[in-house]
Amino acid sequence: MKDLSPAVRQKLLRMQQNEVTENLIYNNLARRAKDPHNKQVLESIAAEELSHSKVWQQYTGVAVKPKKLRVWFYTMLGRVLGITFALKKMESGEDTAGAAYAELVEVLPEAKKISEDEDRHEQELLAMLDEERLHYIGSMVLGLSDALVELTGTLAGLTFALADTRLVALSGLITGVSATLSMASSEFLSARSEGRSDALKSCLYTGVAYLITVALMILPYLLLSNSVAALVIMLVIVVAEIALFNYYTAVAQDLVFKRRFLEMAGISLGVAVVSFLIGLLVKAWLGIDV
């Protein structure tokens, strides 16, 4: 075993532990993968991580234990939000790995090859991952964005036109369910007109995204009696939904988060402000006091 300085040995131990940890993460996700192709891809990456850890072990002379919390976190993330999201998120958190490899190249020749393997093989294999939900991101965006824009404006306008959270919730629910069916059927007909065989699945993704958005936005009006407080919380939920969804798509599809988030948030909140003002004007013009 080659003599190593304490600093170099500590770096190798950290890298060895990361490789062992990621080997378990990939294997855990591979066992949960239903698609045979995805399963094979994950097992290939896992085998590569294990081989790298064995190279480092030849220098450190010790067997290290994986980071159990990290293994659990990314395994659960893969189950909930999808394999591609979990792995790209995991890889994005390792930007410092390249610098660590560069520092080790002068001391350990193997570091250069392993660094090249990591950059080439993992990106190639991750690009090969084929997840159904990523094929329907467009359908989900359609359902989410339409629900946010349409219902944000509707609820904001009704809040001050009716000033009664129960009435606003009832009106919003009727509007939301009707719009969900309308949007889902439109997506189905659009997909069918394009000759797509997945028209039904596409409309389901659109409808489910729309309906979930509707439910979350109406919830404050069902739980609170103060219409202004319900409106404020609804707008917070809107911003949170936009942020979470855009973060998911940005990570999974390598997109710019900030621009997409600001664009969607600006449209939704802008419509809410306009509808809010229209609600006040209509209420004053008609002289209605509910």
Sign of CA dihedral 209, 215, 218, 220: negative
Q: First-to-last CA distance in the chain?
A: 83
Amino acid present at 152: T
Query: Is residue 39 scored above 80 in pLDDT?
Result: yes
Percent of the chain exceeding pLDDT 70 equals 78
Which residues touch 12 (CB under 8 Å, ≥6 apart)? 4, 56, 59, 60, 104, 108
Which residues touch 261 (CB under 8 Å, ≥6 apart)? 242, 243, 246, 247
pLDDT of residue 21: 92
Query: Is residue 204 scored above 60 in pLDDT?
Result: yes
CA dist 123 and 202 (Å) reads 28
- 2: pLDDT confidence band, cut at 50, 70 and 90? low
Extract the tokens encoding 277: 């003002």
Amino acid present at 159: T
* Closest to 77 measured CA to CA, from 67, 89, 68, 66: 89
CA dist 124 and 254 (Å) reads 14
* Closest to 11 measured CA to CA, from 113, 116, 89, 111: 111
3-state secondary structure of 174: helix
Q: Please report which residue ranges of 136-226 form alpha helices under DSSP H.
A: 137-162, 165-193, 199-223
- Give residue-wise pLDDT tens across range 86-125: 887 887 655 555 556 666 766 676 776 777 766 666 666 6
Percent of the chain exceeding pLDDT 90 equals 7
17-21, 95-99, 272-276, 285-289: least confidently modelled range: 95-99
Extract the tokens encoding 187: 């997506």
Query: Is residue 133 scored above 90 in pLDDT?
Result: no
pTM confidence score: 0.65
Asked whether the beta carbons of 95 and 44 are under 8 A apart, the reply is no
* Closest to 32 measured CA to CA, from 89, 90, 82: 82
What is the domain partition of the chain in residue ranges?
Answer: 6-131, 136-286
pLDDT of residue 228: 85
Sign of CA dihedral 250, 256, 258, 259: negative
Q: Among all chains, which residue has been given the structure tokens 């660094």? A: 115
- Give residue-wise pLDDT tens across range 141-183: 767 777 777 787 778 777 777 778 888 888 888 888 888 888 7
Instruction: State mean pLDDT over 229-255.
Output: 82
pLDDT of residue 151: 80
Query: Is residue 135 scored above 80 in pLDDT?
Result: no
pLDDT of residue 146: 73
Instruction: State mean pLDDT over 215-235.
Output: 89
**Mean of pLDDT over the chain:** 79
